[in-house]
Amino acid sequence: MRAQASEPRTPPRQTGGHQRGTTPRKGSQSARNERATETSAAVLQRVDVVFYKEILDHLGFPHRCELARVRHEAVELDDAIAGAVLEFEHAQRVWDWTIAADGYEVQSLPAAA
């Protein structure tokens, strides 16, 4: 029996996008499109996160002084709040929001249509 020399097989060339049944690479355009489709199908939670400092008046009563109001939206409420906190930290140039503010209040907004 003779052994036949076989030519090396090369996989077929992919032309843009990804093949059906395979998962796209993380940074590819089709992966971003799939994530956008999944996000648009779900209802986005919109929140205003109001960061404040507590200041005492001349009688010693505390009052909340608004520092910033950050609007953010995400699929999950906790993700929307976390995104707003991160945005506030970047704007204030601090690594923890408690350095710049004494607290925050979450105000839910109607879902985007």
Three-state SS sequence of the chain:
CCCCCCCCCCCCCCCCCCCCCCCCCCCCHHHHHHHHHHHHHCCCEEEEEEEEEEEECCCCCEEEEEEEEEEEEECCHHHHHHHHHHHHHHHHCCCCHHHCCCEEEEEEECCCC
- Report how many domains make up the chain: 1
Tell whether 19 is covered by a domain.
no
- Structural domain including 83 reads 43-109
Q: What is the pLDDT of residue 49?
A: 92
Tell whether 92 is covered by a domain.
yes
Tell whether 72 is covered by a domain.
yes
The segments of the chain whose pLDDT lies below 70 read: 1-41, 112-113
